[in-house]
Structure formats: structure tokens, C-alpha cells
Amino acid sequence: MNLFDVYPLWDIEPVRGLDTTLWDKNGEVYTDLYGGHAVISVGHCHPHYVKMLSEQLDKLGFYSNAVQNSIQKDLAARLGKVSGYDDYALFLCNSGAEANENALKVASFHTGKAKVLAFRKAFHGRTSGAVAATDNPKIQAPFNSTENIVFVQLNDLAAVDAELSKGDFAAVIIEGIQGVAGIYEPTDKFMHGLRSLCDKYGCVLILDEIQSGYGRTGKFFAHQHSGVLADIITTAKGMGNGFPIGGVLISPTIKPSYGMLGTTFGGNHLACTAALAVLDIIENEHLVENAAKIGEYFHSAFADNKAIKEYRGKGLMIGLELKDEYVGLRNRLLFEKHFFTGAAGAQVIRLLPSLTVSQETAESFVNAWNSLI
Ligand SMILES: Cc1ncc(COP(=O)(O)O)c(C=O)c1O
């Protein structure tokens, strides 16, 4: 059997990793400023992460959600504390799309309404509701098409008001910072306005922090830069540092009932252990602070860079929009200088490194960049 051919692949096969370094099968060394798409939050193969997972695997890898699981409860308590959403409840699942899918369902159950407002260029995942709320017709099958999702422009509060005032919306879903779109931020003013409009019209405000969360922007969740509170927050990617796990943080105003949500694998022992190890490392190594610090370094180092049209983002969620003559730089960074980066289309290079990235590594990237332009 062959693999279902949906990914264009680089001809590179990493076989070993340590922090932000990767080795391929030929022994070539690479620096990873992409983190496998913002997933590697605490570095590849962090010794504490490896130890905790190995020890848990020796005890119990999995049991279903039919029994007590104190690792889940520890995770909920720790996540509540570190995120500032102490009084919220946690539902655990396996991926970002699944977290959003469940968030949309919870909002719809809670309000008894079906419609959802989303934003142009948004990406929320590939399951049925999540992909319908994703502004990319190319990845929506006819099966996913629904009149229940309405898109408006990011930061256009009047457009939000015009839609929500119709009174039939269950939720608004918004990324903390739009990632796949190429790193676009909602303004603080917009976030405050959005919160007020959701309150006014009885809508659930869902913050998709799957890419922008877990400390990446210098706060635990990106929307916390604006000071606004969400009703539901979704997380995944950095939460397990590569172990599949997603989470839905749900306001105490939204009441659960037995059977409302469910999953076979979600919240299993290994996944929760991975997430606890990640939180240990984030706290012990002050990684949220490091994300802010290295983010500031990148921002100042790339100010007025001749290849860059616009620098976007916060902390370690960075979009570098290239001037036309420098399109192609990403491949040169990879093949000539051995730096992995992300992209949004041909024009935007995305940096989504592990929050452990050092000043030295950041400087070596800037030097490599400057040597190519
Ligand atoms: C903002 C956002 N939401 C949701 C998802 C979907 O996550 P997953 O691929 O884990 O389903 C992504 C993935 O890139 C994302 O960036």
C-alpha cells in the first residue's frame, strides 16, 4: 500500500532531535524554527518530557473515560492556574480541529442556535464544522458546505454587529492571532468590541488559541494581550509538544451534561502526562518570558531589513512578509543554511520555533538570513 498522496514533501528525513536541532538520516544538522508547525513548544526530546512519558508508559498507557483518571484532573488544575482560567472546565480531545469542533457544538448546545460567525482568512481545522468555519473553499468538500457559517473581515466591528444583531448566532470563533493566513492580529479595540457584542447578543466567544496559545506570544494565550476574557478557549499544538492532545476550556456559565461530548482517546494517560511535562518545563524554564524576549530580539533585528515588506506577530509567532524580489528565500534558508521555517503562501515566512529557542540560535538565524539577501 502507498500513502494517500496529499502532502508535497521535502526530500529530508529528520530522524533525531534535541531542543531546536534536528539531524536527518544522512547525519546533516538543521535548526528548527518551525517546530513542526508550532507544535514543538519545549524543544525536541526534552529530557524531562522523555522521562515523564517513559515512566508513564511503564505504568499505564491508556484507559478510557469510563474510569477515574487523576492525571486529567492534575492537568485541568495546572492549566487553569497557569492560564488564569482557573474557574473554567476542561474537555480533552486529540487535535486542534477536534477542539474547535467540540467548542462549536458546546456553543450551539448552550444557546440552542446554529449559526457561527467566523473571519476572512481564518483557519480552524479540517473536521466538518471546523473546516466550514475555515475561509478556504479549496479544503471544503461539498459535504462541508453549510449556511450556518458567515464570514466577515477581521477587525470590522460594524460588520460583526450587523450579523450578530440578526439574533440567530450561537458563537463567534476567532484565532488569537491568525496563523495560516500569514500572521494577522485582531486589534485590542476590536477584541473589546467583540466581547461587548457577544454579551449584547448572547453569543459565545470562542478563542482559537491552537497556534497562538501556550505561551508562544509572550502571554499564555494571545488574546490575553487585549485583557478580554473568552467564553471558550481551544488549545492543541504546543500543548503536548508532539503528543496528540487538544483541550477545550469552558466557562462555568456553560453547564455540562452526561453524553453531551465524548471521545475514546481524548485525555488518555500518555497524552495528559505529555501535557503535564510541557507545563512543568514552561514554568521551570520561564518559557513564556523567553518567548517574549526572543520575539523582541527578532523584531528589532529585522526592523528595516531590506528583504522584508512587513514584520507581523507577537513573541514567537512571527510572519515575515517578503518583498517580491526575495520570494524563494525560505528554500534557500533550508537548503543552503539548514534552517527550517514555516510559510503562508510564497510571500510570508513564518517563524514558530520552540519557546526554548536561545538568543544564540536567534542570532545565527538573523546572520544566515542577512548573508542570503
Ligand atoms: C488556528 C488553528 N486552529 C486549528 C488548527 C487545526 O489543528 P489540527 O491540525 O491539530 O487539527 C490549526 C492547525 O494549523 C490552527 O492553526
* Beta strand segments in 76-193, E: 89-93, 115-119, 149-152, 169-175
Whether 330 lines ligand 1, by a CB cut-off of 6 Å, is: no
Asked, for residue 1, whether it belongs to a domain, the answer is no
C-alpha torsion sign, points 110, 111, 112, 113: negative
Cell of 267: 485525555
Distance CA 186, CA 123 (A): 14
Q: Which of 237, 243, 352 should be mutated for ligand 1, with most atoms under 8 A from CB?
A: 237
State the distance from the centre of ligand 1 to the C-alpha of 72, rounded, in angstroms.
22
Which residue's CA lies nearest to atom 4 of ligand 1? 124
* Res 163: pLDDT: 98
Q: Which domain holds residue 332?
A: 14-46+286-372
Asked, for residue 355, whether it belongs to a domain, the answer is yes
Q: CB atoms < 10 A from the CB of 229, how many?
A: 15
Which residue's CA lies nearest to atom 7 of ligand 1? 96
Residues 108 and 236 in one domain: yes
CATH number, residue 168: 3.40.640.10
Measured from the Cα of 95, ligand 1's closest atom is 10
* Beta strand segments in the chain, E: 14-18, 21-24, 29-32, 89-93, 115-119, 149-152, 169-175, 204-208, 232-235, 246-250, 308-314, 317-322, 339-340, 342-344, 348-351
Q: Looking at 284, 308, 329, which one is the last position of a domain?
A: 284
Which residue's CA lies nearest to atom 16 of ligand 1? 211
Measured from the Cα of 237, ligand 1's closest atom is 10
Which residue's CA lies nearest to atom 13 of ligand 1? 125
* Res 322: pLDDT: 98
Please write the tens of the pLDDT for every residue from 113-171: 999 999 999 999 999 999 999 999 999 999 999 999 999 999 999 999 999 999 999 99
Please write the tens of the pLDDT for every residue from 184-231: 999 999 999 999 999 999 999 999 999 999 999 999 999 999 999 999
